[in-house]
A and B are shown apart, each in its own frame.
Chain A
Amino acid sequence: GAGVSQTPSNKVTEKGKYVELRCDPISGHTALYWYRQSLGQGPEFLIYFQGTGAADDSGLPNDRFFAVRPEGSVSTLKIQRTERGDSAMYLCASSSVAGGSTDTQYFGPGTRLTVL
């Protein structure tokens, strides 16, 4: 596709449930990032993939959060036992080079997660 796509665009779930959020990066982009954005704040880094491996997962808040990218393209962010505090916009971004500091990251439209 032309840009980064994320599905679903909105997800409403109940406390304690499991959710999966999907990101489809720009074709050929090797680096993929997940961010979380709460209302009125900037995006906060969660995890970065270079190819299939997680190069930096230091932003994942706890072990309920996990992400995979098995074939080096599509990535899935998985949240177990969701809590109301997990409600936020989840953003995915990709970049074409090897995750350097000068790279432009292209963002998807996000998935808005609401935990009731």
Chain B
Amino acid sequence: GNSVTQMEGPVTLSEEAFLTINCTYTATGYPSLFWYVQYPGEGLQLLLKATKADDKGSNKGFEATYRKETTSFHLEKGSVQVSDSAVYFCALSTNAGKSTFGDGTTLTVKP
């Protein structure tokens, strides 16, 4: 079956530090890959996505590249802000849009 493994947290960084959250996946077929973010007290929202190999998704300074050869979709940001503190979920979707999620990584950014 499909599965997503992401870096365990929590992750604590100082403002302006570089962020990487690792995500690897196992899937049958050709999945689309997603990063979702959940800010404190809010619902899940899409951060970025990539639908085929070598695609790069980007949004709000975050980036992730779909690497089929390593089955990975690592999330990066060059300079984090306090407002980026949230829980980040990596996910994949195969046919019919059924999504499989990782367990989430909690990021805390300190001023």
Contact = CB atoms under 8 A, between A and B. Distances in A.
Contact of A41 (B49, B51, B91, B103): B103
A45 B99 contact: yes
Contacts, number: 72
A42 B98 contact: no
A59 B99 CA distance: 11
B102 A48 contact: no
A14 interface: no
A43 interface: yes
Interface string A70-100: 0000000000000000000001010100011
Contact of B98 (A56, A91, A107, A108): A56
A10 interface: no
Contact of B95 (A91, A93, A101, A108): A101
B100 to A, nearest CB: 7
A101 B93 contact: yes
The size bracket of the interface on A is 20 to 34
Interface of B: 4, 30-32, 36, 42-46, 49, 51, 89, 91, 93-104
The 3 closest A-B pairs by CB, nearest first: A42-B101, A99-B97, A107-B44
18 contacts: A33-B98, A40-B103, A41-B104, A42-B89, A42-B104, A43-B44, A44-B101, A45-B98, A45-B100, A48-B96, A48-B98, A99-B97, A101-B96, A102-B51, A105-B93, A106-B46, A108-B43, A110-B43
Interface of A: 31, 33, 35, 40-45, 48, 50, 55-56, 59, 91, 93, 95, 99-110
Given A100-B96, A105-B93, 15 more contacts: A35-B99, A42-B103, A42-B104, A43-B89, A43-B99, A43-B101, A44-B101, A56-B96, A56-B98, A59-B98, A101-B31, A101-B51, A104-B46, A105-B97, A109-B43
